[in-house]
Structure 1
Amino acid sequence: MRQNPGRRTALLDAAIEVLARDGSRGLTFRAVDAEAAVPNGTTSNYFANRDDLLNQVTQRTRERLTPNPSDVETTMREPHDHKLVTRLLYDLLDRMRRDRSSYLAMFELRLEATRRPEVRALLIDVFRANLQDGIDFHLGASLPGDEITVVLLYLAMSGLLIDDLTVPEVLAPYPYDQLIADMVERILPPAP
């Protein structure tokens, strides 16, 4: 296997674009080569097989969707209250919209997981880690609420993100800013 990290990352980013645009069935080594504008056969030099590619795509989407630590540090200087939780969720929505392909690729991987146990096992690990990271961050920052609060916010935002990135017309009558603010106020315990 080739070891050029820059080329590997470019191929993974191309695979994310293919997955988001064409779905799981469209994700082939040839399609990734074409998207990355590299010679045919390049992807097969970097990934042992399709499962290896899917595994690494999953990890790459997680990297791409993780917030910039300096942005988080700046945001976390605000008072740790309902308003900050609302801001963090707005930032999440903005991040997903800016990297729509990564989120849609993850959605495609979820669908693939319903058909393939090895993909399912991988996604369980990744999504469990994502949720635990969210819980640890929330509780570690002494934000209002407990572990179940974070799980409920995760579930509510997951639904909002799926509709926003796939069928935004469904939520068009409802301003997102207000939806997220109401979500926080209704899920978090009352402010002291």
Structure 2
Amino acid sequence: MGGGRRREVLDAAVEVLATGGLRRLTYQAVDTTAGVPPGSTSNHFRNREALLDGIVAHLEALDREDWERGVGTLPAAPTGTPAPDDPSVPDGPEELATALEGLVRHLVGPGRHRTTARYALTLEAIARPAVGEALRRGHASLLDWGARVLKAMGSPQPEEHSRALAALLEGLMFQQVALPEDGFDPLPSIRTAVRAMLPESAGDAPGGRAGAAPATA
């Protein structure tokens, strides 16, 4: 079976985990949800630990795909620190806040099942350190991405600010997934945090667009 079948199995595993929790996560449940022949899941993942590790990696890959498709208008993670005039760097706090609002709305809306599955895995990590290690690797990758973008935008403490912003976003999403509110609006909280971390525009950052020296012949 090729990569397409493996992805079908993992998509189904995320759905099972999100709707039924870890107790419902069985080979049979995943096969049934995926609509694949019995035994397909076990052919790819020989034990439960391998299946859980596969789900963690799949969730991280889906997050990357969202960035690449421009969810929230932000780009895929750069390979290095982008320059302040790089088109991938949001132009100031308001643009970043609006982009992150879009991401949060996606992850509690169309991507809600993925968020719920991730929370189920987080609880499993309490008893299974190996799952926690996989989750930590994915989280560290996103924190690194955030720190590089925030640094390019002028944050004086990009690593600390990335951790704080990630904690805020996780809190907003958890609250909305666990205790949904009508009229959910994450933008004010995100805007307040981002404005406290950054200069008013990317051009105000050291070496940024507004402060860059003119080119000379």
* Cα 1:50–1:79 shift into 2, 3 Å: closer
Say how many residue pairs are matched: 185
- The residue aligned with 1:188 is 197
- The residue aligned with 1:178 is 188
Counterpart Cα distance in 1 of 2:185 and 2:50: 41
> TM-score, length-normalised on structure 1?
0.85
Counterpart Cα distance in 2 of 1:173 and 1:8: 38
1:143 aligns with 2:153: yes
Pick from 79, 92, 97 the counterpart of residue 81 of structure 1: 92
Q: CA deviation at 1:189?
A: 4.0
Tell me, which stretches of 5 or more residues in structure 2 are unaligned?
Answer: 76-86, 205-217
What secondary structure, in the 3-state scheme, does the structure 1 residue paired with 2:127 have? coil
Letter in 2 for 1:98: P
Q: What is the root-mean-square deviation of aligned Cα atoms in Å?
A: 2.4
1:43 aligns with 2:37: no
Identity over aligned pairs, percent: 30
Tell me, which stretches of 5 or more residues in structure 1 are unaligned?
Answer: none
**Structure 1, residues 96-141: CA drift from partner, whole Å, max 9, x if none?**
12211111111110000011122122222222222222222332xx
> TM-score, length-normalised on structure 2?
0.76
Counterpart Cα distance in 2 of 1:182 and 1:9: 39
* Cα 1:57–1:77 shift into 2, 3 Å: closer
- The residue aligned with 2:59 is 61
Counterpart Cα distance in 2 of 1:136 and 1:79: 12
Letter in 2 for 1:184: V
Contact 1:65 1:95 in 2 (8 A): no
